[in-house]
Amino acid sequence: MALTLERALLRLKRLEAALIRSHLAQPDVLPQADYELIRYALVLGRLQAFRPGAAGAPDPSRVVRAEVALLPEPVTALRELLLARLYAPLREQRNVLLRLAQLRQQVEVVREATRAARDALLAHHAGEFTAAELDAELCHKVLVLAPGGGGGSGFVYIGLVARLREAGLQPSYIVGASIGALLGGLIARDRDPDVDGLMAWGKGLKIRHIFSRPKIGSALSLPGLVRLHLRGMDRMLRNPDGSPLRMKDLAVPYDAMIAGVRLSAYQNLPQIPQRRPHLLGLPLLIAERMLQLLTYFSPQVAKELVLGRDALTSELRVVDAIGLSSAIPGVLQYAPWQEDAQSSEILRRLREVHGLSAFMDGGTVANVPARAAWEGVESGRIGTRNAFYLALDCFHPQWSAGHAWLIPVTQAIQAQLPAQRPYYDWLVRFQRTPSPVNLLPSDDVFDKAFQWGWKQADEVLPQLQEALRPLPVPRLA
């Protein structure tokens, strides 16, 4: 069966990831210049469009021009050759030494096919982009983060981002769900995030800054145990003149994954029981409600929506996108401290267009939103199409006391991951995290989460640093 275009592009992406891992494991088998040539070819083979000037080292004088859709025939010919010649060694050969030795035999064929495709593109698009601009697109890869949901477990993400920052690596695009959307929005506020300031802010939060009693009457999300109003976060997400930060205003492109509750399914949803005392306290009451989440993991109930990517939702307040992505049905009801007329109108239009009754946690549709991140890049969200996709998962089955009671929910969430797997290059599954219900951890737990995230970042650093290292333009003659 012939591959669809999407599957072919994803397969080439995975071939490049396998090549990088193999070369890191055995750097002396495939000559460096040949390794870099094959990587260059694998990026060119999946390039359909790009924005000249968007890629490359930061340069204030560089002009980013209108997007160019490439002549498809040269790229298609190269893509088919790469899949035919490189798939077997990179995906089917288990022995790394043999894999790289087999790749050496394909170098000259790849070189000739790459030269022919590049020459044809430069000739056809003369005046639309230069050779230097095409090479910049192919030789400079950017980091895309897809942090997933998991309540208080997600505070480990701060430590990982801090470790990457120390290594000189910063995201060029963030797509988050739930706690991943919350922390992603804060990180995207500045091009160089102030991690120390973020930690100090988080430690200073009190319950009243984030939560209050549930709101009676209409709200943007389904009912919950507590109201998530995000007053303390709203103060962080403002422009210098005091106006609210909107999605388009963030320094780093950022999208938030949310779910819409379909009108057709709303009347069949389980009734949320009235709030009542629980003999074992609030955590067990939250556990009871969290188990009801299983009802919402259905496309008949929940519709996936990505906020920030289109002209309409780019005008949404960042705090509203974060709140909606974090609104866990039966647990957290998002109702902002102060409503924003512009955001309210945008959300009204979304409900009307998509036939929705309310919004809820993005984790119900894609707890690790790697596919949404890949689709954003491919649609031109950040100009370049050459990206490394780092997915973050803090919400998987763990047997410690703070996590074990959530195993039915975490198992259901994990069932989503196979559908996301083709879209990320690396998944960081954090082995130690705070409890998901610890939404305002103590200073000690905050510090531990930071250290756990920092330490686990070391696992991905070699692959990430090599993937993001600028490549020299290969010899094609």
Chain segment 333-383, per-residue pLDDT in tens: 999 989 999 999 999 999 999 999 999 999 889 999 999 999 999 999 999
Torsion of CA 319, 427, 309, 380, to 10 degrees: 150
Tally of helices (H runs) and strands (E runs) in the chain: 20, 12
Q: What is the mean pLDDT of residues 40-47?
A: 98
Q: Which segments of 287-375 are extended strands (E)?
A: 302-307, 332-334, 356-361
Instruction: Tell me which H or E stretch contains 174.
Output: strand 171-177
Q: Nearest-CA neighbor of 133 among 118, 144, 120?
A: 118
pTM reported for the whole predicted model: 0.93
Enzyme catalytic residues: 178, 361
Instruction: Tell me which H or E stretch contains 212.
Output: strand 211-212
- Residue 176 CB neighbour total at 10 angstroms: 34
How many angstroms separate the Cα of 473 from the Cα of each of 38, 68, 81, 132, 280?
11, 21, 21, 9, 63
**Distance from C-alpha of 411 to C-alpha of 432, rounded to nearest angstrom:** 17
223, pLDDT greater than 60: yes
User: Is the domain defined by 142-466 classed in CATH 3.40.1090?
Assistant: yes
The domain segmentation of the chain, as residue ranges, is: 5-140, 142-466
The most confident of 195-199, 213-217, 303-307, by mean pLDDT: 303-307
Strands 426-429 and 332-334 turn out to be unpaired
Which of the four pLDDT bands, split at 50, 70 and 90, describes residue 415? confident
Both tokens of residue 42? 């694998």
Quote the pLDDT of residue 458: 95
User: Residue 255: what are its φ and ψ, rounded to 5°?
Assistant: -125, 150
